[in-house]
Amino acid sequence: MNLINVVSLSKKYHTPTKEVVALEDITFDIEKNSILGIIGMSGCGKSTLFNIITKLELPTSGYIRENQKLVIGYMMQTDALLPWLTVYENAILGLKLKKMVNKEAIEYVNTLLKKYGLFDFKKEYPSNLSGGMRQRLALIRTLAIKPNILLLDEPFSKLDIDSRIKISDDVYKIIKELNITTVIISHDIMEEITLCDKLMILTPRPGKIKKIITLKKEDKSPSEIRKKNYITKLYDDIWRYMHDE
């Protein structure tokens, strides 16, 4: 079943000097309980698409059909943790903003903090956490509102390669455990191949759909998939599609 149908989306930005076509005629579905990757080169319109799906921006034309009431959880390119709040206060921030703080919600946040290794750091400040821990905290804050769709925009781009592989495994495990519909936006081919069930490749700007590929992951973790032989050819193919070859 499709949770969302994205139909003929286009987006133009008007600046004082020029018009920028960011997206052109984008149509695709987001299948329930799957992980969809959206990949393309820098500037091709990925964050624009993210902003339209999360309703932070309106499209110039086209529309999004929701086949179920959505509770959207999203993480933008920066982790956006507030440095003057503790780990715990950051974790419940989304709940507070949505006026959803109650005993049950707090218990759920505590469960998430325990499960993902942050409970003992509740009273610390984000500056005392590693990059991976910050990322997990940002994710917990997003999950606290119990979203039924999760959108991540370049979630690991600020991390070094070792942390990125580790957090990919962590995030994959979390998504699988919660069985939550997820969209992961990235320009990193390896990240997308190892995490996603399906990959939508955009052309350089203006972003158009070049290809949608189904990935056969056999439910393996990202670090296991990295070791597979078929990865090299797949990587090359995707690289070419991204460069519109």
Given 35, 37, 39, 48, the residue binding ligand ADP (CB under 6 A): 48
Looking at the chain, how many residues does it have? 245
Distance of CA 110 to the CA centre of its chain: 23
For the bound state, the minimum distance from the C-beta of residue 54 to Mg ion, rounded and expressed in Å, comes to: 13
Query: Residue 199: how many CA atoms within 13 Å on its side-chain side?
Result: 25
> d(Cα 233, Cα 228) in Å, to the nearest integer?
11
Of 241, 148, 228, 115, nearest in space to 187 by CA: 241
Q: Is 235 in the site for ligand ADP (CB under 6 A)?
A: no
> Applying CB under 5 A, which of residues 3, 36, 47, 171 lies at the interface with Mg ion?
47
CB 136 within 8 A of CB 118: yes
Q: Is 15 in the site for ligand ADP (CB under 6 A)?
A: yes
Instruction: Choose, by CB under 6 A, the member of 47, 135, 182, 194 that binds ligand ADP.
Output: 47
Cα–Cα distance between 175 and 21 in angstroms, integer? 33
- Residue 155 interacts with ligand ADP (CB under 6 A): yes or no: no
Question: Measured from the CB of residue 237, what is the shortest distance to ligand ADP in angstroms?
Answer: 20
Query: What's the closest the beta carbon of residue 21 comes to ligand ADP, in angstroms?
Result: 8
**Residues with Cβ within 8 Å of residue 82, at least 6 apart in sequence:** 89, 90, 93, 126
Applying CB under 6 A, among 45, 59, 94, 155 the residue interacting with ligand ADP is: 45
Q: Which is nearer to ligand ADP, 53 or 140 (CB)?
A: 53
Q: Which is nearer to ligand ADP, 206 or 222 (CB)?
A: 206
Closer by beta carbon to ligand ADP, 15 or else 127? 15
> How far is residue 211's CA from residue 244's CA, in Å, rounded to a whole number?
10
15 binds, among Mg ion, ligand ADP, none (CB under 5 to 8 A by kind): ligand ADP
Looking at residue 141, its amino acid is R
Strand segments (E) across 91-241: 149-153, 181-186, 198-202, 209-214
Q: Which does 137 bind (CB under 5 to 8 A by kind): ligand ADP, Mg ion, none?
A: none
Q: H or E stretch including 24?
A: strand 19-31
Give the shortest CB-202-to-ligand ADP separation in angstroms: 8
Nearer to Mg ion, 46 or 141 (CB): 46
Choose from Mg ion, ligand ADP, none: what does 232 bind? Cβ within 5-8 Å by kind: none
Residues 54-83 touching ligand ADP, rule: CB under 6 A, are: none
Query: Nearest CA to 48 among 17, 77, 5?
Result: 77
Q: What is the DSSP letter of 236?
A: H
Task: Find the binder of ligand ADP among 46, 136, 164, 217 (CB under 6 A).
Answer: 46
Interacting residue ranges for ligand ADP, rule: CB under 6 A: 13, 15, 20, 22, 40, 42-48, 205
